[in-house]
Amino acid sequence: MIPAMELQEKVGHFPTRPGVYRMFDAQGRVLYVGKAKNLRARVRSYFREGADGRAHVRFLMARVVDIEFVATDTEKEALILENTLIKRHHPRYNLDLRDDKSYLSLRIDVQNPFPRLVPTRRIQRDGALYYGPYSSAKSLRETVELIHRLFPLRQCSDRELKSRTRPCLYCQIRGCRAPCCGRIDPAAYRKLVDQVILFLKGRGGELLGDLRHAMAAAAAGQEFEEAARLRDQIRGMELTLERQKAVTHRPVDQDVVALVREGAEAQVAVLVIRSGNLIGRRPYYLADAHGEDAEVVTAFLQQYYRGDRIVPAEVLVGLDPGEENRSLLEEWLGERRGRRVRIAVPRRGEKAALVRMAADNAAELLAERRRTKVGYDAALEELQQRLHLPGLPRRMECYDISNVQGRQAVGSLVTFVDGFAHKGGYRRFEIRTVEGSDDYAMLYEVLRRRLNRKGEGWELPDLMLIDGGRGQLGMAERALADAGVEGVALAGLAKARTLPGAGEDVHHSPERVFLPGRKNPVVLAPNASGLFLLQRIRDEAHRFAVEYHRKRRSRATLHTALEEIPGVGAKRRKALLRHFGSLKRVGEASAEELAAVAGISPALAGAIAAALGGAGGRTQGAPE
């Protein structure tokens, strides 16, 4: 075990190049695997107070006793190595996909002179073509049955193909062309295979046109038996194509990924679209989705495509993983696919409608999981009983404060009704009256401003939940008393405390609920549905506060950097903001784009780009 000070000193000698770092506990188990563009800077940030606002980091760092790194030449190599190590170690604090499994696909080995359809769960770079995925073995069997009915491909194994001396029963039943006995040459058989490939790609209309021409040619040549066979094949295909549901007019392969989350709980829905047809939906539940939305989306995409999975030409996402992560993922996925892959965040049109469809599915899945997993009526009844409330806490509000040493301080208010987030009741507060780092005074200001608001949208809740212990609860009591508000229940949810020297199974105390007028806190069972609900509300308030604080910190840093550039006065700052629309876009602009603004010379544009490029890099806030 390495003492904390020595561990920080060790991290100070890490290289400044890209790589992967692993965090270990006292038993030598890997707790977390991460990638970094700059190993030293990234790992050092874990030791700075407030540098990483993710809720799980403080619990992670309380258990870390050693950190190791593996340096790589590029960030892409770090991404690949990170995926490999996560798959090998299954770290507790990395994103964990639930309900994941390998889905069935169809394989056609076009290098074989007489290929056949082979169901498989493993995608390999072996020159064969893969189609799918299929959400169930039943749907795959139905597809294979249909193809064999429409297209007389062989069904025997490669071994039987080489050893058979006379046609099998399928030759008589389904018209197999018996390549095993030389009744069809490879060129004619390849035409059948090409038709199957068109069918699997969803290009049924093109295939139907070819078959109708072939039927007409057979009839003109008085090959009536062949014409009848083609007629039956066309009828079967027409019935099949009528049953397919097209969701886009373009014959593209797409995966549509949407994430819906509240606190550390999230649900992802992936719509699988092949050749413009929706062929399946995959649900994934994320129990510990810590961090910002962009981080969670990036981690999900890394895990989702790291196994034996067909990579489509386009991945549509509802939440932007960020330009840097998006470019890195596109390059990595392009290598896996063998061709270019595009990750898009559509805002309008047909693609945006697909993302909304996926998001609606994710929301329904999460709501259903909560109804079956938690049972909110039972959770509310449990809270009423254990917290001695006069009624069911159907409307609950939770408050949190976020700042770094008092700077850019903000408060958050989130509202839950009957156990579900009520986004219309979310509010953000900029701290106005408190100087310095005084979280108690900041909380008092937020509560007084909230309690002074009346009217629609500001209805008093059944329970006010404070993120904190006895001290924060005391400030809330004072705010209610000074505002003259009565009849609102109060509670403070204090986070678990790390217990030094505790055993392997018990490493921190349970979370505690503090109540007014009660000395000892209420300790709910770790698996209690009421505690689960309180934790979700608290985590959502924390996420909402940190997100707002980072936005303010980013704006303030850019604005300060802009003011400090020689030659940029109030007039030129105003021109830059009018041209680009926001400080963020000014910080992202290139020197050439800045020089296009009236009054900005090429030399000054270069100075602005250099200064704001550094400022923007310091204010990203997202992990490497």
- Are 267 and 214 in the same domain? no
- Are 353 and 458 in the same domain? no
Q: Which domain holds residue 27?
A: 4-89
Question: Which range (10-19, 387-396, 531-540, 615-624) has the least confidence?
Answer: 615-624
User: CATH number, domain at 8?
Assistant: 3.40.1440.10
Distance separating alpha carbons of residues 252 and 467, to the nearest angstrom = 48
Distance separating alpha carbons of residues 87 and 74, to the nearest angstrom = 20
- Please give the model's pTM, rounded to 2 decimal places: 0.46
Number of domains in the chain: 5
Is 96 contained in some domain? no
Helix axes 224-243, 204-220, angle to 10 degrees: 160
Is 248 contained in some domain? no
- Are 542 and 397 in the same domain? yes
What is the dihedral sign for C-alpha 376, 381, 385, 389?
A: positive
- Are 428 and 510 in the same domain? yes
- Are 294 and 396 in the same domain? no
- Are 215 and 178 in the same domain? yes
Is 379 contained in some domain? no
Q: Please write the tens of the pLDDT for every residue from 115-142.
A: 888 888 777 777 888 876 665 666 677 6
CB-neighbour burial class of residue 350 (10 A; exposed 0-12, middle 13-18, buried 19+): exposed
- Are 276 and 348 in the same domain? yes
Q: Please write the tens of the pLDDT for every residue from 546-570.
A: 888 777 766 655 555 566 677 777 7
- Output the DSSP codes for 476-529: HHHHHHHHT--S-EEEEEEPP-B-TT--SS--BPPPEEE-TT-SSPB---TT-H
Distance separating alpha carbons of residues 74 and 391, to the nearest angstrom = 58
DSSP structure class, residue 343: E
- Are 196 and 289 in the same domain? no
For residue 516, pLDDT beyond 90: yes
State mean pLDDT over 243-259. Answer: 69
Is 44 contained in some domain? yes
Choosing from 89, 120, 143, the residue where a domain stops is: 89
User: CATH number, domain at 264?
Assistant: 3.30.420.10
- Give CA 251 to chain center in angstroms: 26
Structure tokens at 439: 């979280």
DSSP structure class, residue 398: E
Choosing from 176, 211, 243, the residue where a domain stops is: 243
pLDDT at 505: 45
Stretch (H or E) spanning 574? helix 570-580
Distance separating alpha carbons of residues 551 and 428, to the nearest angstrom = 12
193 to 128, 177, 238, 379: CA distances (angstroms): 13, 12, 19, 58
Is 97 contained in some domain? no
Is 556 contained in some domain? no
Is 555 contained in some domain? no
According to DSSP, the residues that pair with 317 across neighbouring strands are: 257
pLDDT at 96: 64
DSSP structure class, residue 179: G
- Are 422 and 345 in the same domain? no
Residues 442 and 429: beta-carbon distance below 8 Å: no
Choosing from 373, 399, 417, the residue where a domain stops is: 373
User: CATH number, domain at 489?
Assistant: 3.30.420.340
- Are 125 and 231 in the same domain? yes
- Are 398 and 508 in the same domain? yes
pLDDT at 473: 93
User: CATH number, domain at 607?
Assistant: 1.10.150.20
- Are 535 and 399 in the same domain? yes
The amino acid occupying position 227 is A
Starting at the earlier edge strand, list the strands of the sheet with 342-344: 277-286, 265-274, 254-262, 314-317, 342-344
Is 26 contained in some domain? yes
State mean pLDDT over 433-445. Answer: 86
